[in-house]
Structure formats: structure tokens, C-alpha cells
């Protein structure tokens, strides 16, 4: 019988490392002081009598949403996008502030829409602003991966919550490498987009309309049991979408060669389902918007320059800070100096509790984004420390079917200093390059104290009014 | 700083349980005495100078096989099965000794082949033996799940190892519930089988021949990263097979309604790929047959009455004992008393290191076969104790990409008393019932000492001859 020393280490790893170096068993407990300067706001928000119920309501509203894929149709129809109108990922941004991949995607889209012949000519167009406008996807019930550029002729997945009739939208996924969403705009990029508009979109529309709604929320449930975390692994989800739509594709009476090409295109693109998962997540999170007193994050989005969040209790305000460069693995000869800062609305998956938050269910993803399997498991466990609850539909088998950590709580982020973990593709920072890698990234820390301050301010206003009323 | 007692427990759990009950930390190390009466044979085999190299050769041969799905064709063509000839799962068995589900499947197949009108009339036919014969699938380079009955008109998957040209075969999977392989033979069972012969088989043949070989070994690699263990979870594998074959199905010029029906049938049957995984495993294991001195198991198979194994060093001899009833979860109102003993060639998956051996990669399977997630992880780790190596192609992400435990070693089983873990469907013990549940089962322990005795005897004979030669 042996009686070795055991040490419980709270906080700074330096002590634990020193003891572990002496071959003593150490149990590490993740604790850090609150973010600097947040103590007063934390106290205010903690004292808000609405907070607990408001957060419970936000979580319940998010979990109640069932996202059905009900249609596929052009953005000009379903979003009423006019020629010259472009949507983009992340919080609002002007051309002057846009990063390389955002500019590249806009230039390609302008050429796709026939505003210019050569994408290179579009730069002057956007600089002048004549006849063109930029608006965030999120302001149009839409999400877009990476640059997230949507133009009128692009076909969109249409997701609907049958209980409320609310809808969200996302474009069709183009695959990997040299693609518009990563800022590439060469001839092969535009040719692929034209084929998607001419063949793939109409075929998917026919298939979805003939086969009836596809339960995206249910597919996400299955994916999490099949090694997908639905941000950078969507392999099983893509295959299940194919399974559900291929019979109706076959009987669609379109040319069998077009059907076969479409099956090959979707089947050869493990990320195809991402563009269904994202609007499914947005549909759920939008149900939690506009709840006074709730400190839950309802959107995390990046435009390649800034990272922004919105919360349930602060309306349409974006809290923004500089987007970070991901830490990860690079394609070919690319390195960190080639990577653009974090970009895309795809962090809506983490906001909903999957993606980086569900990495424990997709350990194979470390081969794509870096890190170790134990990191992946630890990440999901750590995200439970900053979230309000566990999704009853989306569970992680290897963690004994625990629900994914859901509903990022601004107060918990500020109190612990633990930042949401996002896994992401990396775009080349120069327009036209495309994807250079994939990795792990967090939001800039300062946006959570910013959001907390706004929540505290709202709490103070509300309490003041209430006190005023009670004086009358 | 605390200094609690820690106890390392080796062997009998009684002691560990008693200490754990006293809230003391216990580390359990799985050790048990060798199986009773095996000491002398273990010593003989351990002293065999061929053993180490022979086992290395067996493992290498198994790992070198790449299984390609190269064709789909009727058993009458590819196995030269004649009217009245039937193959079945497991070691050889006579009608008189056959269990309910084996009899039910044979009766259904006799009716399918037109030997009798009513399946019930087939019992007399098999009893008389007139114009009918039974032979194990394994004796015809074939494997069959559950009853594993193959008759001439059934269409078979054809797997080939391109390096050697060797081929293995398996029938097409019918789905779950009331199906022939679980011993059901009602009109709906026979109707489905006729449709598979008339429509599905020819369509798959066209698709495989048009699209070219499908890399079954490669799909298995992916499946293990997607929550499938390829025995009772084949969901991702089935979807990948559909992905690979559906484009060629679409352009096959068969009726689009037949193609759509086939896509729905395969897409609605998560077990469809099992019948590709099984012959892929057999193809790999057959490469290790006939290696003098090797103590590796090359087949585990059950006919519903007996469980049999074959080893690399003992030729075509079956070592058999009574099949056990699985412990697991039951469908509807069924219970343990309704279950037939273990049946089927599907334990070829465990023999190859997947199925029950890879449960760590498919934790969601505990919802089907019972047990806990930690059991699933522990099972894979335990199987490493009785296997010769780790498959370099088939890895388990959550165990830090460790290769699956491969090559069951008869000596290690006898030395540790640890039995191979199989997960399995359960057939109703009455002919005609179909599936009643799924669960966990092991071989009867005594067949390993039997095999060991034969290996020891072969070792002794060989050493005697060698000594005799060296005396000359």
C-alpha cells in the first residue's frame, strides 16, 4: 500500500507544473480571477432580479426550435436582394476596412452578377460605392461561412421553425480550396458558382420540394454520434442530407448526367452540410433574441477584420474587437504569415453549443485543426463552465451522453476569463488566394466586458425606472 | 495537501470492491490466472521457436490485404451453388442440430428457391435430406450474418484483394426485424428477397461495374472515425457506400423509380454495409491461414448451436463449444427467454479487430447493445491484452488514434482468461420470429484450451520430427 502526496492546483499552471515535475500527482482545477475591471458590472448584473429567469427563458427558446430545411431558392427571391446588393459575414464593415478575402469574395460576386467583366475591376466599383451596398448577413436572417458573401443570383438553403414560421438562410457550400468564401475569384471559382446556380440549386429545390422538409436538427443529433461537430467536420451530415434527398433527385426528371454530377459534387464535399447546420443554429439562437435581462450570447460573427457578438439582452448592438489569427495547421507551404484574421458567421455553431464546443464528439478533428485528443475532450468540458445549460437533443456519447454546452453566458466568461473556443478554416490574407489552413481561435477577450457593461447599464436603467415607479 | 491511501488491485475484483466501498482510490489491473489445465500446453507453445515469427507473419499478411468491392452477382454464378445447395453461418451443422432461426432461414430459402411452395413444408424436406445439402459459408470463401443462409438465387457482394486476386463473398443485407437471417420466413420476407434478386442486385451490379471497385478497407478506416464499429453500427459505412455508388446508379438507365426505391432501401438500412465489412474482414484473415506455428485466430463463427474458431496454425479444424445467449437489450416485450444462442459469421469483424473490439470508437452503440460508455472504452483496451498487434489503417481517434486490437492470440486468451468481446444481434429462438434484441456475448471459454491443445500437439509433432532429423 502506498500513500503518495496529492496536490490540488487551482489557477496558475506554474505551480502545478513544478509539482508534476517532481513526479507528484496533480489535479488541475481551472480557475482564474475575473476579467480585469469587470467586478462592478458583474455585481450589478448578478443583482438583476430578471437575470435567472431571462436566461432560463433564452435557453428554453433556443432548445425548442426545430430547424427544417424547407426550400432551396435564389437570394433574389427569398431575401429580395437587388442587383448591387451584397451580404457579408460578421458585423457591419465598409469596403475600406475589409480584409483581403472579404474583398476577393466581393469582387468575385460582383463579376458573377455581371456588374463587372473582370473581378479586378470590381475594386474600383466598391471603392466608389456607386450602385453597390454591403450589409451583414445577420441583418437578413442569413449566415455565411468565411467571407459569407451573398449576391442576388446565389441559391440559398431555407430553414424554417414550424412552430413560429420563422426562417433563416444560407448559400450553398462550394467545397474547399480555391472558392469564393475563402476569397478566391478566379475563372474556376466563377464557373463553379454558375454551375451551382444553373444546375445544383434547381435540382436541390426540386428534391426538397418533392421529398418534403428535411429535419436539420435531427441530422445534427445524429452527426454528433458520428464524429462530426458540425463546424469543421460535416461528413456524416453531408451523407445524411444526400441520403434524404437523393431519391427525389433521381425522380426529378432532370438530366441524369446533371443528377450524377450533383451527387458527385455533394458527395465529394464533406463540408456541404455546414451551410445547413449554420442557419439551423441561427434559427435556434434567434428565438432567444430580445429577452431583457438575459446575458446569453445569441451571435458570434467575424468579418475578417472584427469579431462581434450580440446578446439576448442588448438588442441588435454588436460588441466588437479585432479578429484574431487562428493557431492551427497549414495547407502545403502556407504558414501563419499567410493567414487572414478570423472570418465568417460559422461561429454561430459554437454559439449554439457545437463546433469547437463539441470537439469531444469529433476527436478526429485534431488532425485538421491541430491539438490533441485530450485537448478536444478538455475543450468541451471547459465550455460547460461558461454556458447556461446542456442541449437535451444534442449529446456527446463519449462524455456519457452529456448534452453539448449551450448558451454562452457573458457573466460566466467575464467571471472565469475562459473564452469561447472556436475551430475554423483559415483564409489567405491576400484576395484571391483561398484557403491556407484550419485551426483554433477565440474571440478577442475585450468584447465580453464591453457586452457586460451594456448589460449592466441596461440593468441599472431598468432598476432605476422600477425604483422610480415604486416611489410614485 | 492531502495524502490519501491508494490501492493497486490485481485480479479478483472482490478486494477492490471492498476497498472502493471504503471510499479509497483503487487502480484495477486486469490479471487472472491462466485457464485451468492450460499450463503445460502454454509452456509447449511458448517454447515453439516458430511462434513469434509465425504470428508476425500472420499479422502482416492480414494487414496487407486491401479489400475492394469489385462485383455483385448471384450465388449460382460466383459460388457455383446448385439448386438444393444451401450455405449457413458458423461451423458445420446438421438439420437435426439446427436452432430455430437457422431452421427458419433454411425453410424460407427453400421456398425462395421454389423447392417447396410453403416454407413450412421445407422442414420435412431438410429432415429427409433428399436433394438438399448444408455447408458452412466459411468453406466457400463466404460469410453470412446471423443464420447466414445463402441459396443460389441470392445476389452476393464480391470482394477482392488486388494483390493476390483472392475473393470473398457475402449476401446483400435485408434490413432489420422480420428478415430471413434472423429466422423469419413470412410472405413479406420472401417478397423482399425476390425484390432484392430482381431489382437491387442487378442495379448494384451495374453501379459497381460502371463506377469501378469500391475500397471497402478505406471505408472501414473512415467509419471508425465516424462512430461505427462495423458490426452493429454500420451507419456511416452504409452512407459512404451509397455516396460511392449512387452516381453510377443514376446513370444506369434502369427505371428511375427502381433506382429511387433502391436508394431508399439502402439509405433506410443502417446495417447495409455490414455485409461488405464482413467479407472484407474475411479476406484479410484468410491471408493468415495455414501458417505453421501461428496461434492467431482466423475465424470465429456461430451456427446458433455451436461457436467455433479456427486458427492460423491448425488448418481447417474447427474448435467448437456451445454458443452462449447474449446479455443485452430487447425489442418490445421480448426477454432473455425468447433469445436464441449466439448465431452468425459476423464475429469475423471481432476476429479482425473491429466490432466489439472497437467499441471505444462507437460509444453510442451502448444504447443498442447495453453497457456503459466507460465499458465500451474499457472493452477495447482489454482486447489489446489478448491480441498480437494494432492495425495501422484502422485507428480509434478517442484512444489517441491507437490502432484497433488485432489478431486474437489463443495463448494470450488462455494465459489471461480474457475472452474476446463480441457485440451481436439476437434472433428469436423460435423459427419465424426474427430479431428480438442485441447485446454482448463471448465465445464459450473451453474452445481456446481446445485450440491451444491442438497447437501444442502440432508443436510437439514438429519438434519431434526436427529432433529426429537432427539426430540423423
Domains of chain B: 1-31 (no CATH), 39-62+289-463 (3.90.1700.10), 66-279 (3.90.1710.10)
Segments in A348-418 forming alpha helices (H): 348-351, 366-369, 373-383, 410-416
Neighbours of B171 (CB within 10 A): 28
Q: How many CB pairs under 8 A join A and B?
A: 124
Nearest of B105, B98, B91, B101 to residue B340 by alpha carbon: B101
Angle at B378 between CA B376 and CA B379, to 5 degrees: 65
Instruction: Say whether B167 sits in a helix, a strand or coil.
Output: strand
pLDDT band at A471, cuts 50/70/90? very low
Asked whether the whole model's pTM tops 0.95, one would answer no
Mean per-residue pLDDT, A203-231: 98
Instruction: Say whether A108 sits in a helix, a strand or coil.
Output: helix
A225/B225 Cβ within 8 A: no
CA of residue B427 relative to chain centroid, distance: 15
- Using the structure block, give the residue that is written with the C-alpha cell 438562410: A169
B219/B237 Cα distance (integer angstroms): 6
B262/B268 Cα distance (integer angstroms): 10
B379/B371 Cα distance (integer angstroms): 10
Q: In Å, how far is B256's CA from the nearest CA of chain A?
A: 6
Neighbours of B229 (CB within 10 A): 30
DSSP A54-106: HHHHHHHHHHH---EEEEEEEHHHHS-PPTTEEEESSS---GGG--HHHHHHH
φ, ψ at B215 (rounded to 5°):
-80, 90
Amino acid B470: pLDDT: 52
Helix (H) or strand (E) holding B157: strand B155-160
DSSP B16-51: HHHHHHTT-EEEEE---PPPTT-HHHHHHHHT-TTH
> Is residue B465 packed enough to be buried (19+ CB in 10 Å), middle (13-18) or exposed (0-12)?
exposed
B373/A401 Cβ within 8 A: yes
Q: In Å, how far is A361's CA from the nearest CA of chain B?
A: 9
The answer to whether B303 touches B89, Cβ cutoff 8 Å, is yes
* Alpha-carbon distance values, B71 to B117, B175, B204, B247, B275 (Å): 31, 21, 8, 16, 13
B137/B310 Cα distance (integer angstroms): 14
B401/A398 Cβ within 8 A: no
From chain A, pick out residues whose CB is under 8 angstroms from the CB of B239: 236, 239-240, 242-243
Amino acid B22: pLDDT: 53
From chain B, pick out residues whose CB is under 8 angstroms from the CB of A257: 251
In the structure grid, which three cell numbers stand for residue A218, read together? 435531427
In the structure grid, which three cell numbers stand for residue B316, read together? 481447417
The CB-side HSE value for B267 (13 A sphere, CA atoms) comes to 22
For residues A239, A245, A248, A252, the Cα torsion angle rounded to the nearest 10 degrees is -90
User: DSSP secondary-structure letter at A262?
Assistant: H
Amino acid A14: pLDDT: 52
pLDDT band at A4, cuts 50/70/90? very low
Q: In Å, how far is B429's CA from the nearest CA of chain A?
A: 32
Mean per-residue pLDDT, A183-198: 98
Mean pLDDT of the residues in chain A: 93
Cα nearest neighbour of A249 on chain B: B260
Q: In Å, how far is A195's CA from the nearest CA of chain B?
A: 17
Amino acid B385: pLDDT: 97
B365/A6 Cα distance (integer angstroms): 36
Q: Which residues pair with A178 in a beta bridge?
A: none
A311/A443 Cα distance (integer angstroms): 14
The answer to whether B366 touches B372, Cβ cutoff 8 Å, is yes
pLDDT band at A26, cuts 50/70/90? low
Cross-chain CB nearest to B5 (options A3, A246, A401): A3
φ, ψ at A253 (rounded to 5°):
65, 15
From chain B, pick out residues whose CB is under 8 angstroms from the CB of A8: 2
DSSP B429-454: SSTT--EEEEEEE---TTHHHHHHHH
CA of residue A278 relative to chain centroid, distance: 6
From chain A, pick out residues whose CB is under 8 angstroms from the CB of B4: 3, 6
Cross-chain CB nearest to B239 (options A4, A243, A374): A243
B263/A373 Cβ within 8 A: no
Contacts of B36 (CB under 8 A, 6+ apart): none
Q: Which of B222, B225, B242, B265 to mutate to test the interface with A (most CBs of A within 10 A)?
A: B225
Query: From first to last of its 472 residues, what are the pLDDT tens digits of chain B?
Result: 344 454 444 545 555 555 455 555 555 555 678 999 999 999 999 999 999 999 999 999 999 999 999 999 999 999 999 999 999 999 999 999 999 999 999 999 999 999 999 999 999 999 999 999 999 999 999 999 999 999 999 999 999 999 999 999 999 999 988 999 999 999 999 999 999 999 999 999 999 999 999 999 999 999 999 999 999 999 999 999 999 999 999 999 899 999 999 999 999 999 999 999 999 999 999 999 999 999 999 999 999 999 999 999 999 999 999 999 999 999 999 999 999 999 999 999 999 999 999 999 999 999 999 999 999 999 999 999 999 999 999 999 999 999 999 999 999 999 999 999 999 999 999 999 999 999 999 999 999 999 999 999 999 999 988 777 554 4
- Using the structure block, give the residue that is written with the C-alpha cell 449457413: B88
B236/A247 Cβ within 8 A: no
Q: Which of B16, B364, B366 to mutate to test the interface with A (most CBs of A within 10 A)?
A: B364
B236/A239 Cβ within 8 A: yes
The answer to whether B201 touches B192, Cβ cutoff 8 Å, is no
The answer to whether A139 touches A150, Cβ cutoff 8 Å, is no
Nearest of A293, A296, A299, A203 to residue A255 by alpha carbon: A203
The answer to whether A244 touches A211, Cβ cutoff 8 Å, is yes
CA of residue A204 relative to chain centroid, distance: 23
From chain B, pick out residues whose CB is under 8 angstroms from the CB of A248: 260
In the structure grid, which three cell numbers stand for residue A74, read together? 435564389
A294/B52 Cα distance (integer angstroms): 66
From chain B, pick out residues whose CB is under 8 angstroms from the CB of A221: none
Amino acid A253: pLDDT: 86
Nearest of A196, A215, A323, A218 to residue A262 by alpha carbon: A196
Amino acid B471: pLDDT: 45
Amino acid at each position: 500500500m502506498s500513500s503518495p502526496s496529492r496536490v490540488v492546483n487551482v489557477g496558475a499552471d506554474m505551480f502545478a507544473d513544478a509539482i508534476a515535475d517532481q513526479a507528484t500527482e496533480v489535479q488541475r482545477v481551472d480557475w482564474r480571477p475575473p476579467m480585469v475591471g469587470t467586478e462592478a458590472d458583474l455585481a450589478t448584473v448578478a443583482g438583476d432580479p430578471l437575470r435567472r429567469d431571462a436566461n432560463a427563458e433564452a435557453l428554453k427558446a433556443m432548445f425548442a426550435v426545430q430547424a427544417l430545411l424547407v426550400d432551396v431558392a435564389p437570394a433574389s427571391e427569398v431575401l429580395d436582394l437587388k442587383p448591387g446588393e451584397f451580404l457579408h459575414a460578421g458585423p457591419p464593415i465598409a469596403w475600406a476596412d475589409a480584409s483581403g478575402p472579404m474583398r476577393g469574395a466581393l469582387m468575385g460576386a460582383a463579376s458573377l452578377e455581371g456588374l463587372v467583366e473582370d473581378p479586378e475591376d470590381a475594386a474600383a466599383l466598391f471603392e466608389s460605392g456607386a450602385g453597390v451596398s454591403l450589409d451583414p448577413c445577420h441583418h437578413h436572417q442569413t449566415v455565411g461561412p468565411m467571407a459569407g458573401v451573398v449576391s442576388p443570383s446565389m441559391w440559398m438553403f431555407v430553414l424554417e421553425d414550424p412552430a413560429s414560421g420563422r426562417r433563416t438562410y444560407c448559400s450553398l457550400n462550394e467545397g474547399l480550396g480555391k472558392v469564393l468564401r475563402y476569397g478566391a475569384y478566379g475563372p474556376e471559382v466563377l464557373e463553379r458558382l454558375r454551375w451551382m446556380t444553373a444546375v445544383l440549386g434547381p435540382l436541390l429545390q426540386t428534391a426538397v420540394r418533392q421529398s418534403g422538409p428535411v429535419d436539420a436538427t435531427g441530422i445534427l443529433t445524429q452527426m454528433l454520434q458520428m464524429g462530426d461537430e458540425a463546424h469543421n467536420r460535416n461528413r456524416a451530415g453531408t451523407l445524411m442530407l444526400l441520403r434524404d434527398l437523393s431519391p427525389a433527385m433521381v425522380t426529378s426528371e432532370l438530366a441524369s448526367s446533371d443528377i450524377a454530377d450533383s451527387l458527385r459534387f455533394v458527395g465529394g464535399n464533406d463540408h456541404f452540410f455546414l451551410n445547413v447546420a449554420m442557419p439551423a443554429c441561427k434559427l435556434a439562437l434567434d428565438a432567444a433574441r430580445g429577452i431583457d435581462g438575459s446575458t446569453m450570447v445569441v451571435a458570434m460573427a467575424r468579418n475578417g477584420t472584427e469579431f462581434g457578438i450580440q446578446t439576448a439582452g442588448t438588442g441588435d448592438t454588436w460588441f466588437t474587437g479585432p479578429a484574431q489569427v487562428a493557431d492551427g495547421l497549414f495547407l502545403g507551404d502556407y504558414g501563419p504569415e499567410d493567414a487572414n484574421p478570423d472570418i465568417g458567421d460559422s461561429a454561430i455553431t459554437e454559439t449554439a453549443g457545437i463546433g469547437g464546443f463539441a470537439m469531444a464528439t469529433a476527436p478526429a478533428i485534431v488532425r485538421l485543426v491541430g491539438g490533441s485528443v485530450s485537448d478536444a475532450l478538455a475543450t468541451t468540458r471547459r465550455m460547460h463552465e461558461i454556458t447556461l445549460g446542456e442541449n437535451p437533443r444534442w449529446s456527446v456519447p463519449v462524455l456519457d451522453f452529456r448534452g453539448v454546452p449551450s448558451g454562452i453566458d457573458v457573466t460566466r466568461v467575464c467571471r472565469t476569463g475562459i473564452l469561447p473556443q472556436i475551430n475554423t478554416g483559415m483564409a489567405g490574407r491576400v484576395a484571391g488566394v483561398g484557403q491556407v489552413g484550419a485551426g483554433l481561435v477565440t474571440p478577442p477577450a475585450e468584447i465580453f466586458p464591453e457586452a457586460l457593461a451594456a448589460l449592466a447599464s441596461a440593468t441599472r436603467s431598468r432598476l432605476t425606472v422600477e425604483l422610480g415607479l415604486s416611489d410614485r
